[in-house]
Structure 1
Amino acid sequence: MAKSETRRYRLTGLSCTSCSAKFEKNVQELEGVSEAKVNYGAAKLTVTGQASIAELEQAGAFDNIKVKPEQEIDTEATHQKPAFWRENRSQLIAAVLIILAFVSQLTMMGEPRFLTASLFIAAIIIGGYALFIEGIKDLIKFDFSMATLMTIAIIGAALIGDFAEGAIVVILFAISEMLERYAADRARQSISSLVKVAPKVATIRRNDLEQTIAVQDIQINDVMLIKPGQKIAMDGIVIKGESTVNQAAITGEALPVDKQLSDEVFAGTLNEAGYLEVQVTKLAADTTIAKIIQLVEAAQGERAPAQAFVDKFAKIYTPFIILLATLIVILPPLFFGGDWQRWFYQGLSVLVVGCPCSLVISTPVSIVSAIGNAARHGVLVKGGIYLEEMGKLQAIAFDKTGTLTEGKPTVTDFVVLDDQFEATDLLQKISALEIYSQHPLASAIVALSQKRGIDATPISIENFKSLTGRGVQGDIYGITYSIGSPTLFVSDSKIDTIKQDFHRKSKTVIYFGTSDQVLAVIGLQDAVRQTSRQTIQALQTLGVKETVMLTGDNQATADQIGREVGVSAVKANLMPADKLKEIQALQATFGRVAMIGDGVNDAPALAMANVGIAMGVAGTDTALETADITLMGDDLARLPFIVRLSRSTLRTIKQNITFSLALKVIALLLVIPGWLTLWIAILADMGATILVTLNGIRLMRVK
């Protein structure tokens, strides 16, 4: 492997953030490695340079870290978790020895208690051997890690004859590590479930031959054959069949989506009803689900501002604890006539209770859980910083077209002006003409015709013409019909009244008829999304002070849409640069502002906002790559969810930091009356670590 080559690995056994940092440092020091980065949240290692798996696992031996190439661990069969007793046999043996020691202590009341002491010492050596080796190595390097602090405390307890407490600390520490590892794995479950969503094999037809092959071997333009009840293995386009597809894994949508000819489908979704043949459009590494996994894992590895603060604080905090423990050992005996052994013991207890584990893990476990939960519900968050920013938002700006509205026109009114003609007959003629047009308005009319079950194919069009910017015309049964702008037709007062009424309602008006007579007037409008109003109301209920719509549309249309959805302000006739200025004005007034748009047209405003949110139609690479947060299913209703989740995350982080520090302060105060013992110290540290981790994991349950 060339030194410049970069490889990625998945890790198992990675128990804590400090272990993650230490493992990264150890790998970085390997000969042949130029760069190494550990993503604790996703349990991944990225290595640039040359290193074997055996060397990598040796670098992580202190935490029993196992390393597998990224592509190999995708299937459960490639990694069999060791049996519990095998993985923890030294701790189990130590626990048995401690039990025997206490039994011996109770049954042998007289002196000497050689057997009891021997059993406790054996428990310390067997249960803490790996810890001592690592602690001594770190001590030699003057790296005051958790292992160093625990090693000093346990050996110190043994030196002053407190073998029982030393042994109990070894076991409690092992339990703490085990529970912390379990909790970290739970926090990563959201991303591991995403990894398992897409099938690893698929049945394809290539050169008229059907075969089942691994997804890595599938090529673009291969045809997948998907039966009802099967998962779709690759992104592609439907070329045969109709079905309903459950896209919850990608978009978070609760209801299945109808799929027919030319519709796009995504890897990891479930084909429910019919048989489909799908032409593959992306390689396995480029599918939407693969991009989602990459983005979520990268986000889980990003450090949030709160985490950066905690990491800096921990660097000061740990040396402070060591200094405090040293002073507690020295000052009382020297200046106040205290007992050396008693205060030496108190100093050891301070070292244990001062371990910064719970403090350091308080933020990342919360961020990892929240980002994973958001991904499961169709919201991609690029990193902890954006999660924190969302929790502090005071104002949200919305683009109109495609965000608050559907982004495509729909027919709202079809008015027949002459009673001699039936609406169905006229709509059939109109559809026959509009089938030849590429205009969005034409597509809306054809869609209405199809919805009403009208078949326009029997009608033959002759002398078809596209009248640029005005409409289309053609001959039907020898009569020339036109459809398009009112300027193509001779109007009268009745028609003008209808047109003015439509304009007041911000509708687009088109006419259909002959050169002599207008036969029908059609009103079209970009329909408001069904979820827009309830989304705005939910945001206002959550305390978002300002919801403003920014649009390039005219003021009348903007005002009507604004009233319909309930935003608190409307800004119309805006160019992209004007939207950027509006975002700056909102920031000057409200502080933190989010902008939600399509991820492309509103790029300047999205970039200027504290958080840029894209309405990312599933599979749109631009939306996935440019936005800070992407709503995968184009579902605005996810917006209040991500605001609630972000605020819950901020509260949880504050709770964790406060609780962790408060518990340590209380335990340290026990030094004053001399009540702090080693086992109380380890229980306080272990309890804080477990509780902050479990509190962080609760974020996976936010709905």
Structure 2
Amino acid sequence: MTSHQKNGCSDCSCSDIETASPDQQGTSLDFRVEGMDCPSCAQTLNKNLSKCDDIQKVNVNYSTAKMSLTVDQSVINDLSFIQDVQKRVAQVGFKAEPLTKPNKNGQVFTIEGMDCAACAMTLEKHMQKLPEVQTVKVNFSTGKMQIVHDITDDQVIKEVNKAGYRAFLDSQKQDGQSKQAKGSNNTATIASGILLVLGYAVHFMDFSALLSIVFYAAAIIIGGTKPAKSAYYAIKSRSLDMNVLMVLAAIGAAAIGQWMEGALVVFLFAVGNLLQNRSIDKTRDSIRNLMNLAPSEALVKQGKELILRPVEEITIGDTIVVRPGEKIPLDGTILSGATSVNQAPITGESIPVDKEKGDAVYAGTVNENGSLEISVTKLVEDTTIAKIIHLVEEAQEKKASTQAFVDRFAAVYTPIVFILAFAVMVIPPLMGFGTWGEWLYKGLELLVVACPCALVISTPVAIVSAIGNAAKNGVLIKGGTFLETAGAIKAIAFDKTGTLTEGKPKVSEVIPMANVSVAELLGIVRTIEEQSKHPIAQAICDYSLERDIPVLNGRDFKAIVGRGAQATIGTITYFAGNPKLFNELNVPLDHVKESIQTFQDEGNTLVLVGTKEKVLGFIAVADAIRPITVNAINKLKQTGIEEIVMLTGDNEGTARKIAANAGVDRYIAELMPEDKVTVVKQLQNEGKKVAMVGDGINDAPALATADLGIAMGGAGTDTAMETADIVLMADNLEKLPYTMTLSHKALQVIKQNIWFSLITKLAALVLIFPGFLTLWIAVLSDTGAALVVILNSMRLLKQKK
């Protein structure tokens, strides 16, 4: 079947496809597309890519195998956008490589000091105003800024510092300067606290009212310098973040003579920020720890010498040596040596995997015992661990639907409450209800309560924690949307071969007939099948080899397409194949018809062996269920999955046997690859959220159609990592129940955070007007609520596998 047929193209008469949105101008982004064998493939690509909001025009040229996208300038250097395009192309069976390279000045900086998503928005708007900056994207969840610019790195860092935050380009700079910056913040907070205590002590002893105010004012200035700087740039960027509200509250409190309240507001805000930043850093550490898995240097073999070189200088084909107990620095293939490798950092498997010559190994895994010589197969930036790190960071930047809703809510809520606070300050005293000072104080309280900091971070911090935990345990979740979707899944469709089963057929029984011994029968069939690469032929040959059955002297080997094979041994021509082959040869099968049916009903594939006159016997071959399958399916049902369906191209008998042994609820047999898409749609039409589990290659269309595509064995296939929404890095199902449990727990934590944030805000709003809420308690409720939300989200880091 050709790729255009597989993907739904019914004819080859259509020309190159171009689609455009009217009255839009953008920049061209070009790709080379592999796998198109018909002009109508352009239609398939067009339909898939036209769904992307950032693409204004699609032009696919079959003749040149090129695709040109007209996109907004803001995404032309966005690596995550380019990879999203590649994923969409891969989902319909093709491969796209970008011809337009991102700007070489595109860089990623680590940002520290952001208290919430509003801070990220303030910094982003500030950097966008610089004429030398083409594009910039700041993400609060990951603490990263992706920027394309024409200025020096030091100038970028300086501009970030102006806005009240800290930027670091690499880990070495971060390690030194970050500690220094954090120490400076701690010193300012401590000094502010000491001055606050001194001011209160002087006031309490009634020593000097003026001296007390001086101490309070000093506490406000020292503790409030950083938030004041951030507030200035927030206002300049037309943002209303927590820094703006806190500075206004402190200044307002001082203006009405509440100096202690103002100092207490600043101090509590500073302490709350320190605690929040420290807690959020712990959630980000799950990714930083991944980055430290692979060594920075490797022993390269040059002749008889071993030279220690940075991994960045090592190229494909170089030979590296890894000693017992050392981490493997780069992906490669073992040239010599045998060992056990702890692959837990990549796949999450707790048991070391035996490796020998010819086996693949991955950067970041640990060589448990034997010394190895490894031929490097991937550059440092292309290793599996590098891809995992990139995909996880990218995933944390993708907003879940809940987060997007909360952000929209906060964008409306904050200015409304800000206007309401101003109205509270002005309207009642103008109408003669109370004093200006009284209503100004209530308005300041309302300002503090206005910031939805806890609400805004309720979702992203939970998602970062969950995705980080999953990555540590060998599961890649490519975004908050997919994490949320996993929690709503009610039906899972499994591909059979290689997913529920091992995918490697094995001989289950040998039945000799016509006075032929088992050894004689295996000798004949091994001789016929020795030249074949078919999996069933290989299974029979392996079975014979294990029993020391020799190959006979054969000749005139011939493959019979769709039927079997033949060879001449001595003077007799022998055949090995399915029952159809012997029916066509007019060989009598009446005496074995019942046995054939029985074995097929039990899930076996039969290879009959004989001549043109008679059947000499047959061999039953079956695909064994993975040892973990039954346990994994039982655990999935315990997580709330209502229906588990098995999809297979095998016959009814094989499907029935595997389904019964595996414990699935329903099976559908004799399916072509495109039929699996139809079945997934049928399950969705039944009102269920459906996940599809497959190997990410043959099952790509079904994975793309399902509400959630889950690929297995991502450590071995780049296709699986590109096409699926969730990737199980190990080639087994043991991580799937853990993933579903984690998603349910994440949804639960997100709901808890949102409700807690809303109830806290509502309670604070209600307590303002009776006078039960003081300004410092309002600050404490806001920073405290944010801290509780973060700590609650961090529980997801501890979710057991």
Provide TM-score, normalisation by structure 2: 0.81
* Aligned residue among 550, 557, 560 for 1:468: 560
Asked if residue 313 in structure 1 is aligned to residue 418 in structure 2, the reply is no
The 5-angstrom pairing of residues 594-605 of structure 1 reads 594-605=691-702
Q: State how many pairs are aligned.
A: 695
Q: Show structure 2 runs of 5+ residues with no match.
A: 1-76, 78-100
Map of 1:147 onto structure 2: 243
**How many Å separate the matches in 1 of 2:164 and 2:375?**
44
Per-residue displacement from partner, 1:312-360 (whole Å, max 9, x unpaired)? 1111111112122122223433346312212211111111122121111
**How many Å separate the matches in 2 of 1:225 and 1:276?**
6
Asked if residue 695 in structure 1 is aligned to residue 792 in structure 2, the reply is yes
* Aligned residue among 185, 189, 198 for 1:100: 198
The one-letter amino acid of 2:560's match is T
Map of 1:499 onto structure 2: 596
Matched position secondary structure for 1:595: strand
**How many Å separate the matches in 2 of 1:441 and 1:75?**
57
The one-letter amino acid of 1:463's match is R
Asked if residue 670 in structure 1 is aligned to residue 767 in structure 2, the reply is yes
Matched position secondary structure for 1:219: coil
**How many Å separate the matches in 2 of 1:365 and 1:561?**
42
Checking the alignment, whether the CA contact within 8 Å between 1:433 and 1:461 is kept in structure 2 is no
Matched position secondary structure for 1:670: helix
Instruction: Flag the structure with more relative contact order, 1 or 2, with Cα contacts below 8 A and sequence separation at least 6.
Output: 1
* Aligned residue among 458, 472, 479 for 1:383: 479
The one-letter amino acid of 2:299's match is T
Q: 1:234 to 1:513 in 2, by over 3 A?
A: farther
**How many Å separate the matches in 1 of 2:445 and 2:310?**
56
Checking the alignment, whether the CA contact within 8 Å between 2:742 and 2:796 is kept in structure 1 is yes
The 5-angstrom pairing of residues 199-218 of structure 1 reads 199-206=295-302, 209-218=305-314
The one-letter amino acid of 1:59's match is E
**How many Å separate the matches in 2 of 1:176 and 1:139?**
22
Asked if residue 328 in structure 1 is aligned to residue 424 in structure 2, the reply is yes
Q: 1:520 to 1:335 in 2, by over 3 A?
A: same
The one-letter amino acid of 2:332's match is G
The 5-angstrom pairing of residues 509-658 of structure 1 reads 509-511=606-608, 521-658=618-755
Matched position secondary structure for 2:168: strand
Q: 1:160 to 1:502 in 2, by over 3 A?
A: same
Map of 1:41 onto structure 2: 141
Checking the alignment, whether the CA contact within 8 Å between 2:511 and 2:619 is kept in structure 1 is yes
Checking the alignment, whether the CA contact within 8 Å between 1:13 and 1:63 is kept in structure 2 is no
The one-letter amino acid of 2:108's match is Y
Map of 2:171 onto structure 1: 73
Asked if residue 240 in structure 1 is aligned to residue 336 in structure 2, the reply is yes
**How many Å separate the matches in 1 of 2:172 and 2:329?**
14
Checking the alignment, whether the CA contact within 8 Å between 1:237 and 1:265 is kept in structure 2 is yes
Q: Show structure 1 runs of 5+ residues with no match.
A: none
Checking the alignment, whether the CA contact within 8 Å between 1:411 and 1:525 is kept in structure 2 is yes
Checking the alignment, whether the CA contact within 8 Å between 2:487 and 2:744 is kept in structure 1 is yes
Map of 1:364 onto structure 2: 460
**How many Å separate the matches in 2 of 1:313 and 1:596?**
35
Checking the alignment, whether the CA contact within 8 Å between 2:164 and 2:230 is kept in structure 1 is no
Q: 1:144 to 1:480 in 2, by over 3 A?
A: same
**How many Å separate the matches in 1 of 2:124 and 2:363?**
33
The one-letter amino acid of 2:250's match is I
Q: 1:631 to 1:193 in 2, by over 3 A?
A: same
Per-residue displacement from partner, 1:176-204 (whole Å, max 9, x unpaired)? 11111111111111111111111111112
Asked if residue 445 in structure 1 is aligned to residue 540 in structure 2, the reply is yes
Checking the alignment, whether the CA contact within 8 Å between 1:240 and 1:278 is kept in structure 2 is yes
The one-letter amino acid of 1:67's match is A
The one-letter amino acid of 1:190's match is S
**How many Å separate the matches in 2 of 1:3 and 1:590?**
42
Checking the alignment, whether the CA contact within 8 Å between 2:333 and 2:375 is kept in structure 1 is yes
**How many Å separate the matches in 2 of 1:238 and 1:117?**
73
Q: 1:187 to 1:232 in 2, by over 3 A?
A: same
* Aligned residue among 387, 396, 404 for 1:291: 387
* Aligned residue among 48, 61, 70 for 2:161: 61
Matched position secondary structure for 1:220: coil
* Aligned residue among 220, 225, 229 for 2:321: 225
Q: 1:502 to 1:140 in 2, by over 3 A?
A: closer
Provide TM-score, normalisation by structure 1: 0.91
Instruction: Give aligned-pair identity as a percent.
Output: 43
Bigger mean CA offset, 371-380 vs 202-211: 202-211
Q: CA deviation at 1:442?
A: 2.6
Per-residue displacement from partner, 1:603-639 (whole Å, max 9, x unpaired)? 3222221111112341311111111111111222222
